[in-house]
Amino acid sequence: MQQSAGRSPTIPLYIGLVITLAAVVAYSGYVSKQITSLRQLQNNLIDRNRQDSLQLLRIQNELNSIGMSMRDMLDTDPLDQAQRYPLTAWEPQFQRMRGDLEDAFQREQQVAPQGRTEDQQGYLQSSLVQFWDAVDRTFALARNGKENEARGQIRLSLQARLAGLSTAVARLLVQNNESEERAAAQVTEIYNRVQRQAYLFVAGTLTGILLTSLYLIRSNRLLFNQLAMLSEQRSDLAQKLIAAQESTLRHISRELHDDFGQILTAMGAMLGRARNQVPEGSELRTDLLEVREIAQSTLDKVRSLSQALHPVMLDEAGLEQTIEWYLPVVERQTGIGISYEKSGTPFSVNGNSAVHIYRVLQEALNNVARHSGAKQAWVRLQFSPDRLELQVEDHGSGFPAVRTRQGIGLVAMRERAELLGGSIGFERPTAGGTLVRMSIPRQITEAHG
């Protein structure tokens, strides 16, 4: 096949690439500078403000829980002394809330924004300390039997201190929100500036990229057309090679079975007749017997080789019986236990379809014996109304993670599946190993039969 010679697209592509890269580098420098400024703004203010606001909200929730608990402590009718819940029973709950609140204050101090003054932080911390000192004094009064005095302390002191803490936390939340709004305005300005520059950059480079892309598309189209033609030729060649291989193997198998088999059978018969004509006890009689046994052993090997090259059963009995004959042979030769399962309503598979399916099974089991290291394999033949599926599974080493090149056996298996209009896949089961799954349309198997 002649290919029209054309100018190489390499130089124009290099020129377009250099122009594009120069524009990208220039714009990337500008964007990088803006992003750095934006990142500093986010890290220094926005992110810390948000984290701090989350902790302040947590503190606010804890303070609300404490306030609700204090209202529950005071909710009992003061005239009904018998129904009054003792204040000392609330002390474990307050200790738990105290731990949660102090943990929240410690976390809030770690993420406090840079705009927070030391006076604000100090006031918040001192108010918290004073509040818990007052709580301790209140429970101390309750433990000493001064319930009414302790309740009065809650009304007069604790609720006021809690309200002061809540107010201080609310102010800090408002301050964080105002800081976030100012930072958001700065971020918006940066984005707008970058967006305007992006429009200019896109307008300046799109034309060059578009022209380069069109040229590349045209070059690639020519290249892909050539690759598609080569791929089609390769597929045709592979199919012809497979057909020639099967024809050669079938011819050799018949020659071995018919010619050599008949010759060896005749030799055995002639040696038997010659042995019968030699007197008993003669050394020649013993030698003739030994030669006859050698001829018979050679005949068995020739027949076995003939079956391996092209089983006569494929032509005479079809695919199913050939598989049922072949699997025990593989077990004896390799020591691998093979579980065979056939499902569905069988239909006739003969001719070339049977040959190709048998060859895929043969190659799959050879791979199990040579490469997987497995001692057990599973073969499944599934007949469905519209398809025939063959599965060969093992739980051995499986395919390597990185394969430098694909074996010719796998290529041949794919080509045979394509010859039958089907598909073949190589999967990894959950238990490990390899699962070869070939699916062939029923009408194709019947047409090839």
Q: How many helices (H) and strands (E) does the chain have?
A: 13, 5
Distance of alpha carbon 187 from alpha carbon 171, whole angstroms? 24
Distance of alpha carbon 443 from alpha carbon 277, whole angstroms? 60
**394-428: string of b/e by CB count within 10 Å (b at 16+)?**
bbbebeeeeeeeeeebbebbbbbbebbebebeeee
CA distances (Å), 342 to each of 201, 378, 416, in order? Answer: 65, 11, 22
**Percent helix, strand, coil in the chain (nearest 5)?**
75, 10, 15
Instruction: State the fold for domain 313-448.
Output: Heat Shock Protein 90 (3.30.565)
Six-digit token string for 27: 């714009």
Distance of alpha carbon 208 from alpha carbon 206, whole angstroms? 6
For the entire predicted model, the pTM comes to: 0.46
pLDDT in tens, 120-170: 778 888 888 888 888 888 888 888 888 888 888 888 888 888 888 888 888
pLDDT for the residue 243: 72
Write down the domain spans for the chain: 10-218, 236-303, 313-448
Of 30, 4, 14, 1, residue with least CA distance to 200: 30
pLDDT for the residue 253: 67
pLDDT in tens, 333-382: 889 999 999 998 888 887 778 888 888 998 899 889 888 888 999 999 99
pLDDT for the residue 308: 66
Strand order, beta sheet including 434-441: 337-343, 376-383, 387-394, 434-441, 423-427
Six-digit token string for 115: 């705009």
Of 244, 200, 209, 294, residue with least CA distance to 21: 209
Map tokens 């090259």 to a residue: 309
Of 407, 356, 348, residue with least CA distance to 249: 356
Higher pLDDT, 236 or 139: 139
Cα angle 134-137-141, degrees, rounded to a multiple of 5: 140
Q: Which residues pair with 53 in a beta bridge?
A: none
For residue 1, pLDDT over 50 is answered with: no
pLDDT in tens, 97-107: 888 888 888 88
Radius of gyration in angstroms for the set of CA atoms belonging to the chain, rounded to a whole number: 44
Supply the mean pLDDT for the chain.
79
| Surface-to-core class of residue 34, CB atoms within 10 Å of its CB (0-12 exposed, 13-18 middle, 19+ buried) | middle
Of 41, 19, 56, residue with least CA distance to 168: 56
Query: Average pLDDT of 295-300?
Result: 76
Higher pLDDT, 411 or 306: 411
Quote the strand ranges of 293-429, DSSP E.
337-343, 376-383, 387-394, 423-427
CA distances (Å), 448 to each of 253, 294, 382, in order? Answer: 21, 41, 19
Distance of alpha carbon 197 from alpha carbon 59, whole angstroms? 44
Distance of alpha carbon 324 from alpha carbon 379, whole angstroms? 11
Question: DSSP label at 386?
Answer: S
